[in-house]
Structure 1
Amino acid sequence: MSGNLLVVDQISYKYAENTKLALENLSFSVRKGEWLAIVGHNGSGKSTLARILNGLLLPQSGSVTIEGVQLNEETIWDIRRKIGMVFQNPDNQFVGTTVKDDIAFGMENNGILRETMVSRIERVIDLVKMREFLEHEPHQLSGGQKQRVAIAGVLAVQPDLIILDEATSMLDPIGRTEVLETIREIKSESQITVMSITHDLEEAARADRIIVMNQGQLFAEGKPEEIFALDEKLVEIGLDLPFSVKVSKKLRAIGVPLSKNHITEEGLVNELWTLQSKN
Structure 2
Amino acid sequence: MEEIAVSVENLFFQYPNQPNDAIRNVSFQIKKGEWVAIVGHNGSGKSTIAKLLMGLLKPKSGIIKVFDQLLNEETIWSIRKRMGIVFQNPDNQFVGTTVQDDIAFGLENNGVPREQMIERVKSAIQQVGMEEFLLREPHHLSGGQKQRVAIAGVIALQPDIIILDEATSMLDPRGRREVIGAIEKLKVKHHMTVISITHDLEEAMKADKMIVMNRGETMSEGTPQQIFSLGEKLEEIRLDLPFVIKIRNELKQAGLPLQLNDASLEGLVNELWTLYLNK
Pairs aligned (count) = 279
Residue aligning to 2:210:
210
- Point out the more displaced range, 266-275 or 78-87: 266-275
- Point out the more displaced range, 249-258 or 179-188: 249-258
Residue aligning to 1:76:
76
Residue aligning to 2:239:
239
Residue 260 to residue 23, structure 1, CA distance change in 2 (3 Å): closer
> What's the secondary structure of 1:151's corresponding residue?
helix
Deviation of the 1:181 alpha carbon = 1.0
The letter for the 2-side match of 1:252 is K
C-alpha separation between the residues in 2 aligned to 1:68 and 1:258?
42
Residue aligning to 1:145:
145
Residue 223 to residue 101, structure 1, CA distance change in 2 (3 Å): same
| 1:21-100 alignment, distance < 5 Å | 21-100=21-100
Deviation of the 1:271 alpha carbon = 4.1
C-alpha separation between the residues in 2 aligned to 1:126 and 1:270?
33
Residue 274 to residue 142, structure 1, CA distance change in 2 (3 Å): farther
- Whether the aligned pair in 2 keeps the contact of 1:37 and 1:210 (CA below 8 Å) is yes
CA RMSD in angstroms, aligned pairs only: 1.8
C-alpha separation between the residues in 2 aligned to 1:273 and 1:132?
41
Q: Give a deviation string over 1:188-243, Cα, whole Å, max 9, x none.
A: 11211100011111111100011111111111111111111111111112211111
C-alpha separation between the residues in 1 aligned to 2:186 and 2:272?
29
Residue aligning to 1:254:
254
Q: Which stretches in structure 1 are left out of the alignment for 5+ residues?
A: none
- Whether the aligned pair in 2 keeps the contact of 1:144 and 1:175 (CA below 8 Å) is yes
Residue aligning to 1:195:
195
Deviation of the 1:257 alpha carbon = 5.2
- Whether the aligned pair in 2 keeps the contact of 1:244 and 1:262 (CA below 8 Å) is no
> What's the secondary structure of 1:28's corresponding residue?
strand
C-alpha separation between the residues in 2 aligned to 1:175 and 1:270?
27
Residue aligning to 1:264:
264
Deviation of the 1:255 alpha carbon = 3.7
Residue aligning to 2:165:
165
Deviation of the 1:277 alpha carbon = 7.5
| 1:217-236 alignment, distance < 5 Å | 217-236=217-236
The letter for the 1-side match of 2:214 is N
C-alpha separation between the residues in 2 aligned to 1:271 and 1:113?
53
Residue aligning to 2:186:
186
Q: Which stretches in structure 2 are left out of the alignment for 5+ residues?
A: none
Q: Give a deviation string over 1:129-171, Cα, whole Å, max 9, x none.
A: 1111111111111111111111110000011210000000000
Q: Alignment identity in percent?
A: 59
Q: TM-score, normalised by structure 2?
A: 0.94
Q: TM-score, normalised by structure 1?
A: 0.94
Residue aligning to 1:121:
121
- Whether the aligned pair in 2 keeps the contact of 1:86 and 1:164 (CA below 8 Å) is yes
- Whether the aligned pair in 1 keeps the contact of 2:11 and 2:61 (CA below 8 Å) is yes
C-alpha separation between the residues in 2 aligned to 1:86 and 1:42?
18
The letter for the 1-side match of 2:251 is L
